[in-house]
Structure 1
Amino acid sequence: MKKQFNRMKQLANQTVGRAEKTEVLTDDLLQIERRLETVRVVSHNTHKRMVACLQGQVGTDAEKRHNLLQ
């Protein structure tokens, strides 16, 4: 009987330990997801701006002003 009690106690402690670890992991994962979402948004916006720069415009503002003055 004492062996069974000790075994049940051990199993209960392991289950509680797993639950605490799961809670910690869940909180850590939520923080990581938030940070990754921020990085994803920044990367997306940077990519859009770089593509726009690489495509270029028909004429730059300086060229347009120069053409208007002539």
Structure 2
Amino acid sequence: MSQEALLKSSDPMVTLKMIDSIQGLGIGHHLEDEINVQLRRICDWDPSNDLFATSLQFRLLRHNGWSTSS
């Protein structure tokens, strides 16, 4: 997985899954800037009809220091 793949992802759910995988592998610190760019973009995304997407978005935003309402 490259920096370009993370930055070019246009589907918010795919992006969230990529970030989750990257951080799960313990290599998130290598792509911290790219992850923050994508989280900034996804912060306003509303996955209200999908419980998994909502919970993943909430967890990743909170894990990376973003404030979110519950």
Which of the five TM-score ranges fits, normalised by the shorter chain?
under 0.3
More helix, by proportion = 1
Please give the TM-score of this superposition, normalised by the length of structure 1. Answer: 0.23
TM-score if structure 2 supplies the norm length? Answer: 0.23
- Relative contact order (alpha carbons < 8 A, sep ≥ 6): 1 or 2 greater? 2
